Amino acid sequence: MFLFPVWVPILRDTVDSSAPRGAALSVLMKMNICSPEPDVAVTPQEESREREAEESSQSVRQSAHLGGGGCSTFCGGRTSVNPSLQSGALPYGLTMRRIRANAIAILTVAWILGTFYYLWQDNKPQSSPSSVTQPRGRGHGGPKGGVPGRLEIHRDDRTIPLIVTQPPRAEQQGQLLGGFDEKAYLSAKQLKPGEDPYKEHAFNLQESDRLGSERAIRDTRHYRCASLKYDSDLPSTSIIITFHNEARSTLLRTIKSVVMRSPYSLIQEIILIDDFSSDPEDCQLLAQIPKVRCLRNARREGLIRSRVRGANTASASILTFLDSHCEVNTDWLQPMIQRVKEDHTRVVSPIIDVISLDNFAYLAASADLRGGFDWSLHFKWEQIPIEQKMARSDPTQAIRTPVIAGGIFVMDRSWFNHLGQYDTHMDIWGGENFELSFRVWMCGGSLEILPCSRVGHVFRKRHPYDFPEGNALTYIKNTRRAAEVWMDEYKQYYYSARPSAQGKAFGSIADRLLLRRKLNCKPFRWYMENVYPELRVPEQEAVSSVLKQGGLCLESRGPDLILAECRGLGTNRPPPQRWELIEPHIRQQDLCLAISGFTAGSKVRMESCSSKEPRQKWKPKGTALQHMVGGLCLDSQAPAGPTIITQCRPQVASQSWEPQIIS
């Protein structure tokens, strides 16, 4: 089907070769390009004229070795007169070109239809392992000299073709699942006729039950991932799955995908935290599967506190957190454990593929996405910045991400405990991923998304369970705790985006603030400048002020700055003495205060404003104005001298500035 360019010379050789014309005729007739005309009534006069024409052209046909017969000669049609002797007939060469053109057109249409059929079949949900190719074998071993990232284009964007993960044979499943009675477990909770399949779980339960506990899914990784090697001595992991009233088919499919598609030696245990589900047997029966442990909460605790309980009981040195409605893909675990083994401060997440909530089709997600958020602390997937794309020469390279989605990640257990686990005063679900992400980055770690690790996840449009105070209020409480502890002065933008959060009680944060001081974490400004500079600070309303020092005012004279007598009152202040303090800029219209160098004694001048110019960034420090990059302070030196930057010295009069708003 995909060798269409080869067909043209084959067809040409078939028609133009010196082989008997009967063979060519057979080929053409099979393709329905040329076929005998149907029998029709012929008058004696017509028959006589045709016989005479045939006799007159006999010698020509013999000398031409059957040449010039055109389609009529080959096809044995009723009119087999030599075209050169019959009025209105086409030349032989033109006729043959038309035959070839028709043949090529038919084959082209067949090729296009076949291609569309293949693509349609390839994108259908895989519900059975039939007719699939076995995955290629992969061993462990160290990564072969990583190449720093690249821009993914053309072939490098393709996933592994035609490779799907296939369930093991029955005897292998029996060994991995022990004495677990899968059929009885699933049949006990079947959807009843007439029931709404979306009502209880916010996805199509009927389709999930129909698929059963395992199915073949496509390997959605980049094709280069198959050639990567991992260390043979990777540490094992404790896989922690929390759930509340999860559908049995999705929960079991999550567990079986882990067991079937992970190196068995890397699974220390699978810890199920049943967060007070209605039926305790949803979890208890699964404990019959080897390496599966079931812990049930005595009351509804929520995802956050349930995960902490799971981490506290885990025995492996590495923790893997997983949602309860997932399907892991081929070699999903090794890349993440490898990265954490190389640096225990890394927190790594897979690319999260999409499992349709309607028909459970497994759909590949883009490999060019990372986690982001807006000032309301709403998580979103966003494109990798173009600078990072251009720097990526290897599509298997890890992607730095400002935040993770939070449902699926791998983390060193000692690092998780050192950083303070989760904020257990957060309720149920929501906001914990921001709190953890800020803490990891600001306290010495990093967050990564690994393109060679893929996990499918059912994304729902609503929560199928209740929140004690409602979904919205719970989310506001949790995100406000994160903002108050970690966002410093930037929390004002959170409150601007969520005005309703202002009066919402969020409990004591004293222990989390103490933890931040104990860990000596960086300020949120560092996070904004080094981790997420793409998050734009909302435009502040421009407020005009004068910058007074004693009885004098800072004034611009062309590009230079001096201290001069304050002139005018209120709105009558002259423009050279009117300043707008819009952090990080100190500006007059389209000109900004900028240093000429980063060393002490460098002059301060006016130049065109640029958001990307580090020489123009200032912040208040007490009564002083400190340059954000150099750390030096604005100093008037002497009333008649040039304004410079020098070492910051508290209580020095030449560095003390008093902004007075012009009203």
**Nearest by Cα to 604 from 639, 631, 636:** 636
Q: What residues are paired with 269 via a beta bridge? A: 238
pLDDT band with cut points at 50, 70 and 90 for residue 86: very low
Give pLDDT, residue 142: 38
Give pLDDT, residue 571: 73
**Apex CA 156: angle with CA 154 and CA 161, to 5°?**
100
Give pLDDT, residue 640: 60
Residue with tokens 């055109």: 70
Q: Per-residue pLDDT tens for 501-537?
A: 988 899 999 999 999 999 999 999 999 999 999 998 8
Domain 179-218+226-458: give its CATH superfamily.
Spore Coat Polysaccharide Biosynthesis Protein SpsA; Chain A (3.90.550.10)
Q: Check pLDDT > 90 for residue 94.
A: no
Give pLDDT, residue 648: 92
**Mean pLDDT lowest among 117-121, 471-475, 553-557, 602-606:** 117-121
Tokens representing 267 are 């699974």
Q: Per-residue pLDDT tens for 619-649?
A: 888 889 999 988 999 998 765 667 889 999 9
Q: Per-residue pLDDT tens for 28-67?
A: 344 443 444 444 444 445 455 555 555 554 544 444 443 4
Q: Per-residue pLDDT tens for 448-477?
A: 999 999 999 999 988 776 666 666 888 999
pLDDT band with cut points at 50, 70 and 90 for residue 80: very low
Q: Check pLDDT > 80 for residue 363.
A: yes
Give pLDDT, residue 115: 77
Q: Where are the domains of the chain?
A: 4-118, 179-218+226-458, 544-661
Distance CA 33, CA 77 (A): 13
Topology at the third CATH level for domain 544-661: Trefoil (Acidic Fibroblast Growth Factor, subunit A) (2.80.10)
Residue with tokens 């812990």: 295
Give pLDDT, residue 100: 85
- pTM for the full model? 0.63
% of the chain residues with pLDDT over 90: 53
Q: Per-residue pLDDT tens for 213-235?
A: 889 999 999 999 999 999 999 99
pLDDT band with cut points at 50, 70 and 90 for residue 8: very low
Mean pLDDT of the chain: 81
Q: Give the DSSP per-residue string, 314-379.
A: --SSEEEEE-SSEEE-TT-HHHHHHHHHH-TTEEEEEEEEEE-TTT--EEPPPSSEEEEE-TT--E
Helix (H, G, I), strand (E, B) or coil at 620: strand
pLDDT band with cut points at 50, 70 and 90 for residue 569: confident
Pairing state of beta strands 446-458 and 346-355?
Answer: parallel
**Nearest by Cα to 320 from 278, 268, 285, 363:** 268
Q: Check pLDDT > 90 for residue 661.
A: no
Which of the two residues, 353 and 84, has the higher pLDDT score?
Answer: 353
Distance CA 582, CA 663 (A): 17
Burial of 500 (0-12, 13-18, 19+ CB in 10 A): exposed
Which of the two residues, 463 and 431, has the higher pLDDT score?
Answer: 431
Q: Check pLDDT > 50 for residue 177.
A: yes
Distance CA 112, CA 161 (A): 19
Give pLDDT, residue 158: 47
Distance CA 334, CA 268 (A): 14
Q: Per-residue pLDDT tens for 105-133?
A: 998 988 888 877 766 554 444 433 333 33
Q: Check pLDDT > 70 for residue 90.
A: no
Q: Check pLDDT > 60 for residue 289.
A: yes
